[in-house]
Structure 1
Amino acid sequence: MKLMLHYTLKNKGLLFFNFICVFGFIIIELGLPTLLSQMIDVGVANNDDAYIKKIGLIMLAVVVVGVLMNISLGYFMSRITTNVTASIRQDLFEKIQGYSHNEYEQLGVPSLITRVTNDAYQIMLFMQNLLRTGFMTPMMFIASLVMVIRTSASLGAYVLVALPFLLIGVVAIARFSDPLSRKQQGNFDRLNNILRENLSGLRVIRAFVNEDFEEGRFGKVNDAFEKSSKNLFRLMSSAQPGFFFLFNTVMAYIIWQGSIQIDAGTLEVGNLIAFIEYIFHALFSFMMFSTIFMMYPRAAVSANRIQEAMDTEPIIENKENGVTTTETNGYLAFDDVTFAYPGHAEAPVIRDATFSAKPGETVAFIGSTGSGKSTLIQLIPRLYDVSEGEILVDGVDVRDYDIAALRQKIGYVPQKAVLFSGTLRENLLYGNKDATDEELYEAIDIAQASDFVSELADGLDTQIAEGGSNFSGGQKQRLAIARAVVRRPDLYIFDDSFSALDFATDAKLRERIDKETTNATVLIVAQRVSTIMGADRIIVLNEGNIVGIGTHEELLKSSSVYYDIASSQLTKEELGQ
């Protein structure tokens, strides 16, 4: 409730008018039976047509005002709930943007998607009912009880007898709905996870003819979600018939007792009609409020899940007043760096890494799969933080930088080329939002992408499908490289970014990059020896340890690990044998 209250109070002005409309609507709703009572007991009883017309016109005016109040209430309620939901989603999205890989793994990407979408939606539904009926029903209930006792205290006693039964039912339903809501949301997370995996891995599923297996896996989780949802909805739907049964029982008994009192002359007909209206508002208000009360556990589960994501602090923190400028550009040094994933300190994936690089140099990394190549370079832009030692960029520990300033120095091309939906221009401008079209085309030319970009009918305005599915793997890699080149950074990081290119394109691309990066430092992670043979320095990794540093020729003689990798890819002539 704290989360919802926090965001609701940001709309104090709208909340004030919402309250005014609720208060006015209550007065109008309870005023009508009072006027009707006077019309019957005074106007009809005395056959006073003028009085009847007068009260009738007043009632008509009250109805018109009531309609306007109800419309206004709906307007202010909608404004508040949409503002609250939009603010929650925006703040949660901004929070998620600051997460490190560790937080994504901890909470899970499918769960985070559910929290931003479905959980925020559940809060919106609850707030809509709360602002419309949650505010109204307590006041309506109290005001109705006052009018009930004022009209006939003896008949009002029967209402008080029914209240404990209503209260017990509400508390019982709320208690049982909480665990069911948690279970339902958990199943929804798993459903979202399987769906996401299925859609992203559709080609693999089809290639291995595993559609039936995936359907079974999805069906199992879907059945669990269906079961938990049925149990929750069954519980909720059982409340209304029970309430109406008690409600109608009380009403029937009051009409019976009221008729006896009218016959005895202790109660007038108009008062009984007004009394029935008051009873209706009192019990119906209680029933509506109980609906809000029963909805609360489900909204509370969603709010707690959102609050958990809000309260999760990223391991990688942006240093206050961090360094934003340096005297030098492009210098890199690893000083005795060790890294282990959070929670696995006993099993570091990088051990005692020490090396340096300077502008104009190309430093390459090679090693067997799982040797720690990608992990090592991901420490530079602080996708992870070192466990021991330090990484210096231009003489400053990366942890002392303002994160944005640090990453602005870097042009990073990950293993998997990622393109976003939108235009080709918008994707390239990720590198530098102020780049001109001329600069974009130059970056495209450097990345050896001119051949296919020039054939696009819309050029830079070509729409990119989700995940870049309208481009091949090699085309996506070249566009991702062009995006990094647009930035003109001090430090280029290519994480196995040439793997989808043919040898000729690979060679041309590296040649252009060498010419264009004479004032920058270039780091290349590669599996192919041919990609890195010309590097100024090659660093060989094996099980997280640096086991060799040197040129291609030097490592062939000094590193058995490098020689084994090279001999598996190159001919004897290329090995110099």
Structure 2
Amino acid sequence: MKLMWKYTMRHKKLLFFNFLCVFGFIIIELGLPTLLGRMIDIGVKQKDFDYVKMMGLFMLAIVAVGITLNMLLTYFGAKLNTSIIIDIRDDMFENMQTYSHQEYEKLGVSSLITRTTNDAYQVMMFLGQFLRLGFMTPMMFAASLYMIMRESASLSKFVFFAIPFLLLGVIIIARISEPLSEKQQKNLDKINMILRENLSGLRVIRAFVNEKFEEKRFDDVNENYAASSTKLFKLVAVAQPGFYFLFNIIMVLVIWFGAKQIDLGQLEVGKLISFIEYVFHALFSFMLFASVFMMYPRAAVSANRIQEVLDTVTSISENPDGVKETATQGVIEFKNVTFAYPGATESPVIRDVSFTANPGETVAFIGSTGSGKSTLIQLIPRFYDTTKGDILIDGVNVKDYNLTALRQKIGFIPQKALLFTGTIRENMLFGKADATEEDLHYAAEVSQATEFISQKADGYDELLSEGGANFSGGQKQRLAIARAIIRRPAIYVFDDSFSALDYKTDANLRARLKKETTTSTVLIVAQRVSTIMQADKIVVLNEGDVVAIGTHRELLKSCEIYYDIASSQLSEEELA
């Protein structure tokens, strides 16, 4: 409730109008039974039809005001509710943008999606009811009890007798529903995870004819979600008839004993009718509040999950006071760098790595799968932080940089060429928002993307579907490279970014990049030896250790691991 109240207090004006409408509506609702009782006891009983007419018109006017206030209450409640959820989702998204890879791995991408969508929706559903009924029903209940005592103290005992049973029922339901709600949301996380994996891996699933296996996997999780949901629905289904049963018993007792008091002349008909109306208001208000209260455990589970997202502090901060400018541009130095993923400090991915890369140099990394090549270069833009040792860029430790300034020095081309839904132009401008048309054409020409872009019907305004699925792997890689080139960074990092290119395009691209990056530092992770043969320095990795550093020719003679990799890919003439 703390989270919801904090966000509610951001909109005090809307909350004030919401409360004002609630207060006015309650006064009108509770005034009507009293007026009805007077109409019967004075007007009808004494056959004063002018009084009846006057009271009837007065009640109609009050009803009209009540309807207006109810409409305004609905409007202000909805406005306040949606404003709160907008703020929550904005803050969640903003905080998630600061997360490092470690936080995403800890919380899970599928879970973060669920928390931003479904959990926020659960909070919205609760607030929608609470802002309308949460204020109204307790006030209505309390005021109705006062009026019940005022109208007939002897009949009020039936209402007060029922209250402990009602409270006990609400508390029991709340305690049972909370763990069920938590289980339900966790199952929804799993549904989103499987669905996300299934849609992104659809081709692999079809290639291995594993549709039935995936269906079974999804069905199991879906059944678990349905089971916990069914238990919640059954709980509510049992609760409502139970409340109505008790409600009807009280009404029968009130009418029975009230009729006896009228027969004995101890109570007037009008007072009994108004008393019944107040009993109805009191019990119905309690039932409505109970329904809101029963929604609370589920909303509380969702609010706690949202709060976890908001409270999670990134392990790699922006460092606003960090270094933003340096005298040199592109000098990289690794000093005895060791890295292990969080929670696995006894099994480092890379160990004691040291090397230097200077502007104008191309430094390549090669090694067997799992040797730590991609992990190593992800430490440069601080996707992760080193466990031991230091990484210096232009003589400054990367941890001492302002994070934005550090990453603006780097043009990073990931292993998987991720493109965004939109046009080719928009994806290229992602690298530099203020790039000119000339910059676009130049970056496309260097990345060897001009030819296929010119063949598209809309050229640079050609639309990419989600993830660039309507483009080939080679086209996506070239666009990802163009996106980095357009910003003219001091450091280029290619994480196996040429793997989908044919040999001719690869050779043309590398030759063109050589001219483009004469003053930049280029780091390349590659599997193909032909891609890195011309590198100024090749770092050979094996199971996280640097086993050799040198040129292609030097390593062929001095490094057995490199020679084995090269001999499996190159001809005898190329090895000579």
Encode CA deviations 1:235-264: one digit per residue, 9 max, x unaligned.
112111000000011001101111111111
Q: Secondary structure at the match of 2:486?
A: helix
Q: Secondary structure at the match of 1:4?
A: helix
| Counterpart residue number, 1:486 | 486
Q: Secondary structure at the match of 1:99?
A: coil
CA distance in 1, matches of 2:232, 2:396: 56
Encode CA deviations 1:507-557: one digit per residue, 9 max, x unaligned.
000111111111111100000000000011111111111111111001101
| Counterpart residue number, 2:504 | 504
| Counterpart residue number, 2:380 | 380
CA drift at 1:343: 1.0
| Counterpart residue number, 2:84 | 84
| Counterpart residue number, 2:127 | 127
Q: Secondary structure at the match of 1:524?
A: strand
Encode CA deviations 1:453-507: one digit per residue, 9 max, x unaligned.
0011112221110111000001000000000001110000000000000000000
CA drift at 1:319: 2.1
AA paired with 1:274? S
CA drift at 1:317: 2.1
Encode CA deviations 1:43-100: one digit per residue, 9 max, x unaligned.
1111112211211111111011101100110111111110111111111111111111
CA distance in 2, matches of 1:325, 1:79: 46
AA paired with 1:416? K
CA distance in 2, matches of 1:282, 1:7: 30
CA distance in 1, matches of 2:221, 2:136: 40
Q: Secondary structure at the match of 1:335?
A: strand
| Counterpart residue number, 1:232 | 232
Encode CA deviations 1:413-457: one digit per residue, 9 max, x unaligned.
000000011111111111000001221121111110111100111
Q: Secondary structure at the match of 2:538?
A: strand
| Counterpart residue number, 1:268 | 268
| Counterpart residue number, 1:527 | 527
Runs of at least 5 residues in structure 1 that lack an aligned partner in the other structure:
none
Deviates more, 1:315-324 or 1:550-559: 315-324
Encode CA deviations 1:373-411: one digit per residue, 9 max, x unaligned.
000000000000011111111111000011111001100
AA paired with 1:109? V
| Counterpart residue number, 1:362 | 362
AA paired with 2:239? A
Matches within 5 A, 1:435-514: 435-514=435-514
| Counterpart residue number, 2:568 | 568
CA drift at 1:318: 2.5
CA distance in 2, matches of 1:86, 1:140: 30
| Counterpart residue number, 1:299 | 299
CA distance in 2, matches of 1:30, 1:571: 95
CA distance in 1, matches of 2:130, 2:402: 43
CA drift at 1:320: 4.0
Q: Secondary structure at the match of 1:391?
A: strand
Encode CA deviations 1:105-153: one digit per residue, 9 max, x unaligned.
1111110100000000000000000000010000000000000000001
| Counterpart residue number, 1:556 | 556
Count of residues paired in the alignment: 576
| Counterpart residue number, 2:113 | 113
| Counterpart residue number, 2:159 | 159
CA distance in 1, matches of 2:390, 2:318: 16
| Counterpart residue number, 2:179 | 179
CA distance in 2, matches of 1:178, 1:286: 21
CA drift at 1:308: 1.1
Matches within 5 A, 1:389-428: 389-428=389-428
Q: Percent identity?
A: 65
Deviates more, 1:150-159 or 1:48-57: 48-57
CA distance in 2, matches of 1:114, 1:372: 32
Deviates more, 1:309-318 or 1:127-136: 309-318
CA distance in 2, matches of 1:422, 1:78: 33
CA distance in 1, matches of 2:340, 2:217: 33
AA paired with 2:238? S
TM norm structure 1: 0.99
Q: Secondary structure at the match of 1:548?
A: strand
CA distance in 2, matches of 1:210, 1:566: 37
AA paired with 2:379? L
Q: Secondary structure at the match of 1:167?
A: helix
- 1:100 matched to 2:100: yes
Encode CA deviations 1:178-228: one digit per residue, 9 max, x unaligned.
110011111111111111111000000000111111111111111111111
CA distance in 1, matches of 2:262, 2:370: 90
Matches within 5 A, 1:428-439: 428-439=428-439
CA distance in 1, matches of 2:322, 2:506: 38
| Counterpart residue number, 1:517 | 517
Q: Secondary structure at the match of 2:155?
A: helix
Q: Secondary structure at the match of 1:363?
A: strand
AA paired with 2:55? I
- 1:539 matched to 2:539: yes
CA distance in 2, matches of 1:401, 1:547: 30
AA paired with 1:149? M
CA distance in 2, matches of 1:158, 1:216: 55
Deviates more, 1:49-58 or 1:204-213: 49-58
CA distance in 2, matches of 1:281, 1:370: 70
